[in-house]
Amino acid sequence: MSTTLETLHPFAIAQGLIDRAVQRLGLPPQVYEVLKEPQRVLRVAVPVQMDNGRVKTFPGYRVLHTDVIGPGTGGVRFHPQISVDDVKALAILTTFQCAVLGLPYGGAQGGVMCDPAQLSEGEMERLARGYLRAITPVTGPHLDVPGPDHGTSSCIGGYLLDEYHRLHARHAPGAATGKPRVVGGSHGQLSAAGRGCAIAVREAARRIGLPLQGARVALQGAGRAGLRAARDLQALGCRVVGVADHDGGRYDAQGIDLDAPQGQGEPIAAEQVLGLDVDVLVLSQAVRPITAAAAMGIRAKIVVEAVDSVTTPPATALLSERGIVLVPDVVASAGGLVVSYFEWVQNTMNFYWPEAEVNEKLERMMTSSFDEVWTLRSEYATSLREAAYLAGVRRLAGAMAARGWLE
């Protein structure tokens, strides 16, 4: 059974979490029936003229999990192995991030099967525009709002917006998020994912009595979100002693300069960063899931998922049994989504906030949602991940009842 759980797809894991939450809350079974599958799955084929003049067709998807609370929102991921089940899982995760944070959104997600590393800038632009044309019947600022995700950039947000304008012949900056600021993007967007992660770590540390001044941090993954989280944790007094990515890592008990980590300290294998004697382990690179075997070697007091679907159910259970606090993706990786919402709000008002105001609003929203999830964790004697789904299901069921979806 353990082996089966280790290889369970994130979509099936999410369904199980929803089912358990519905039962523990004593809600009618219709809640699970509504939430177990996406409300809409759109499959598209996107033809793109390549730089060599040939036309190549790329499979794509747009999934809306539910719009019971509000219009869909979610990124568009470019990845060579992405599947429709991957996109469905990401849409469900986004639904629960929105619900936990109290955002007036439902979860959506897009995906295009391609290898961004093999595409030129022009091919990426034509692919993004073609994708938007393919999904345009189901998108719009009050219907489903796409934006860039892994494998893309803020430039893609600009292309999505421009193509929407071309198709509809009207100005609608809220039709896409994650845009460059000059066309309606928000201050704080690039740092939001990492900043939100650091806030989640701070709140977890406060509740278990772990002082962050001098706390040792290890970072698995040196991408933008992970590095931003590490910098914010440094600002709180932490010392980053280990950093690893695909190619290997470094360990230095005195601390690593995040601007130049390659030449410092002792070289270590990438997987060794998991077993370092640290207080906080930030998982910010989904190279492969953290299994129970890997979790056995983790020595951190707090493990935080800065990326989605990075810890298997057996690993989650094992960390809990060992008294290690796991801050799950549904809480820890939501900072970017929050600021995407702020961007949409600013677009709707045509009034834009300074970065300090964006960061203050992000701080308040992340702290409040963490407090709710932590309270449910204690009330139901469960993990933070299950507590987050309890909070989300409770809010979604309330919206269903208010709209007459439940008997």
Average predicted confidence (pLDDT) for the chain:
94
**What residues does CATH 3.40.50.10860 cover in the chain?**
2-173
Contact 300, 65 (CB under 8 A): no
What value does the mean pLDDT take over residues 23-33? 97
CB within 8 Å of 282: residues ≥ 6 apart: 197, 201, 217, 218, 219, 220, 221, 226, 229, 230, 233, 304, 306
How confident is the model over 318-342, as pLDDT tens digits?
999 999 999 999 999 999 999 999 9
Q: What is the pLDDT of residue 358?
A: 98
Does the domain at 2-173 match CATH 3.40.50.10860? Answer given as: yes
Query: Of the given ranges (8-22, 95-109, 275-289, 348-362), which has the lowest mean pLDDT?
Result: 275-289
What value does the mean pLDDT take over residues 67-84? 96
What value does the mean pLDDT take over residues 212-223? 93
Give kind and range of the element (H or E) at residue 326.
strand 325-327
What value does the mean pLDDT take over residues 132-146? 97
Contact 93, 329 (CB under 8 A): yes
Both tokens of residue 2? 């353990």
Q: What is the pLDDT of residue 247?
A: 81
CATH (one of 3.40.190.10, 3.30.530.80, 3.40.50.720, 2.60.40.1170) for 191-332: 3.40.50.720
What value does the mean pLDDT take over residues 270-293? 89
Instruction: Give the amino acid at 243.
Output: V
Q: What is the pLDDT of residue 309?
A: 83
pLDDT band at 245 (very low <50, low <70, confident <90, very high): confident
Is the torsion defined by CA of 314, 316, 320, 323 positive or negative? Answer: positive
DSSP symbols for 32-47: HHHHSS-SEEEEEEEE
Q: What is the pLDDT of residue 1?
A: 42
Q: What is the pLDDT of residue 350?
A: 95
**What residues does CATH 3.40.50.720 cover in the chain?**
191-332
Q: Which of 384, 316, 391 is nearest to 13 (CA)?
A: 316
Buried b (16+ CB within 10 A) or exposed e, 48-80: beeeeeeeeebebbbbbbbbbbebbbbbbbbbe
Q: Which of 197, 173, 171 is nearest to 184 (CA)?
A: 173
Q: What is the pLDDT of residue 262?
A: 65
Sheet order of strands, 325-327 included: 266-268, 248-251, 239-245, 216-220, 280-283, 302-305, 325-327
How confident is the model over 178-190, as pLDDT tens digits?
999 999 999 999 9
What value does the mean pLDDT take over residues 71-81? 96
- Percentage, residues of the chain above pLDDT 70: 98
